Amino acid sequence: MADEIKDKMDVEIYATKLQIEEFKESMIWKDIKRELDKWKSGANQEYGRVVGDVISGNFGVENPDMHLGSLYGRERTIDFLLSLPDMFLEILKDKEDKSDGTGHK
């Protein structure tokens, strides 16, 4: 997913590689990751409940397809947020490779 996003966007990153690497090791990022993991787990549990309801014929929501799509979108968004530091590092590396004139990764 990160490749799709960075190829379609001209992303400007003001942080340095070192700052991003330090951020990835920071307590604030660990806190953010832990919270996002909880959200993802909750969405997965809710997804399982809705699928179970659909299979049993007990629709707990008015439109289960839309609800499942919303939960799937939530999970993808969380995955994207969790990938941001690594995606930023990859973008910085690509820009560095292009600026050295070789164009090699």
CB-based contact 78:40 (threshold 8 Å): yes
Q: What is the pTM of this model?
A: 0.74
In a domain, 1, yes or no: no
State in Å, rounded, how far the first CA of the chain is from the last one: 19
The SS3 of residue 60 is coil
In a domain, 102, yes or no: no
| pLDDT per residue as tens digits for the range 55-78 | 888 766 678 788 888 989 999 999
What pLDDT does residue 105 have? 46
What pLDDT does residue 53 have? 82
State how far the Cα of 77 lies from the Cα of 98, in Å rounded to an integer: 29
In a domain, 91, yes or no: yes
In a domain, 18, yes or no: no
- State the total domains in the chain: 1
State how far the Cα of 38 lies from the Cα of 47, in Å rounded to an integer: 14
